[in-house]
Structure formats: C-alpha cells, structure tokens
Structure 1
Amino acid sequence: MSRIRVTKEFSFETGHALYGYDGKCKNVHGHSYKLAVTVIGTPITKEGEVKLGMVIDFGDLKKIVREEVVDPFDHATIFNKNTPHLELAKELEKRGHRVILANYQPTSENMVIDIAERIKTRLPAHLQLHSLKLRETETAYAEWHLEDNP
C-alpha cells in the first residue's frame, strides 16, 4: 500500500524576545506564525471503517495540533527562562497575560523542534510526523523533517 503525506495548516499569534541577541529581535515583539503539519501513513483499507481511505481524519489532526500548539502559544509571549526579561514576564503574568518560560531561545528553529516533540507524542502509532514548516514572516521560516531527525 502506498504511503501518503497529509498536511494541515494552522496560524497563531505569539510574542517573544531573543535574550542576548545583537539585533532588533532582542526587544519584545510578535509574529503571525503559520504552521504546516505533515504526517505520513497508509490510508485505512478495512471495509466498514468509518475513516476508510483516510491516513488521518483532518479533524483529529486539528485537535492534536490545537491542544499541543495553537492553544498554548496563541497570544502568549515566549521568553527564554534565563532571560533578563524574567521580571517583565512575572509582571505580565501577574496582570493576566499568558507567558511561556521556555528551556530554549525562542527562535523559529527552536520553536519548530519543540512543536515536533509535542505533536509526535500525540500521533496514533500507525502514523509518523513527516515534516513541519513554521513561517515567522512572509519570507522567513524554519522546517523540521523526519528524514533529518532519525
């Protein structure tokens, strides 16, 4: 049976600041992220199965990505937990803002690694996460591919 790639796209708004960076992105700012999630598997062939012909129901993939990525990241601000912005982060939280203190510098590259780990743990056993494309701006994105991360 052929292996098929299925992709679903998502968007979310997230703020961040790059601790120790030597450019403008050291300041708190935000992006309208676009995320493409591609899984790979074989379509269901068992007669009578309600999802006959599907690799995964798009609704099931949407639920996983919404719970693991969109809901936590959307309209939150991500800081490296070692940032000097820690005082600002605590003040934002105190005022009811969502803040994520990450174990990494919140670049697109590190965010896409984090997102891959979050999604992989939730996929059904018969599927694999094939790739992710996290677009930070119209002209800049980071990608994660299974073949690069055996």
Structure 2
Amino acid sequence: MATIRITKQFSFETGHALFGYDGKCKNVHGHSYKLGVTVQGEPIEDEDNVKLGMVIDFGDLKKIVKQEIVDKFDHATVFNKNTPHIELAEELQKRGHNIILVEYQPTSENMIQDFAERIKRRLPGHIKLFSLKLQETETSYAEWFASDNP
C-alpha cells in the first residue's frame, strides 16, 4: 500500500511579546495564526474497519490538535517565563487573563517546535507527523519537517 500524506488546517488567535527584542514585537500584540498539520501513513486496508481507506480520520486529527494546541493557545497570551515578562504575566493572570508561560522566546520558530512535540506525543503509532506550517501573518510563516528533525 502507498504512503499518503493528509493535511488539516486550523486557526487561532494568540498574543505574545518578545522580551529583549529590538523591534515592535517587544510589545504585547497578537496574531491570527494558521496552522497546517500534515501527517503520513498507509490507508487502512481492513475491510471490517469503519475507517477503511483512511490514513487517520480527519476528526481524530482535529481532536488531537484542538486539545493540544487550539484550545490552549486560542485567545491566550504567551510569555517566556524566564524573563521579566513573568511579572506582567502574573498580573494579567490575577486579572483573569489566559496566560501561557513557556521555557522559550515565543517566536513562530520556537512555537512550531513546541507544537510538533505536543502533536507527536498524541498520534497513533502507525501515523507519523510529516510537517507543520505556522503562519503568523499573511506573508510570514515557519515550517517544521520531520525529516529535518530526526
């Protein structure tokens, strides 16, 4: 049987700030992120399986990505907890804001690596994460490929 890649796209709104950055992104701001998730595997051949012919049910992939990424990051603000932004984060949390504290500078490049690890942990063993595309703006995006990250 052939190896097939399938892709599902997601969107979410997330704020962040880049501590120590020398441009506008040092300020708290947000993006309408678009995330493309591509997985690969062989379509199911078992004729008794209700998912016959599928690599993975798009609904199952959606559930994983929603739980690991979209539901957590949508309308949240991401800060590097190893910077003075921790004080701002704590104040915003006290005021009821949805804050995510991470161990990294919340750039698209670092976020996409985090997302890859979260998704890989949840995929069934016969399905491999092939690539991610995280679009921050209409003209700017980061890509992650499994082949580049053995």
TM-score range, shorter chain: over 0.9
Measure, in 2, the Cα distance between the counterparts of 1:87 and 1:40. Answer: 42
Measure, in 2, the Cα distance between the counterparts of 1:87 and 1:128. Answer: 39
Alignment RMSD (CA, Å): 0.6
Matched-pair identity in %:
75
SS of the equivalent of 1:121 reads helix
**Count of matched residue positions in the alignment of Structure 1 and Structure 2:** 150
Q: Mind listing any 5+ residue stretches in structure 2 that lack a counterpart?
A: none
SS of the equivalent of 2:122 reads coil
> Which residue in the other structure is 1:69 paired with?
69
**Deviating more after overlay: 64-73 vs 80-89:** 80-89
Structure 1 residues 106-147: Cα deviation after superposition (integer angstroms, max 9, x where no partner): 000000000000000000000000000000000000000011
Measure, in 1, the Cα distance between the counterparts of 2:86 and 2:118. Answer: 24
Residue 7 of structure 2 is aligned to residue 7 of structure 1: yes
> Which residue in the other structure is 2:28 paired with?
28
State the TM-score, normalizing by the size of structure 1: 0.99
SS of the equivalent of 2:89 reads helix
Aligned runs of 1:126-137 on 2, under 5 Å?
Answer: 126-137=126-137
Deviation at 1:83, TM superposition (A): 2.1
Measure, in 2, the Cα distance between the counterparts of 1:32 and 1:71. Answer: 14
Moved over 4 A (4+): none
Deviation at 1:100, TM superposition (A): 0.8
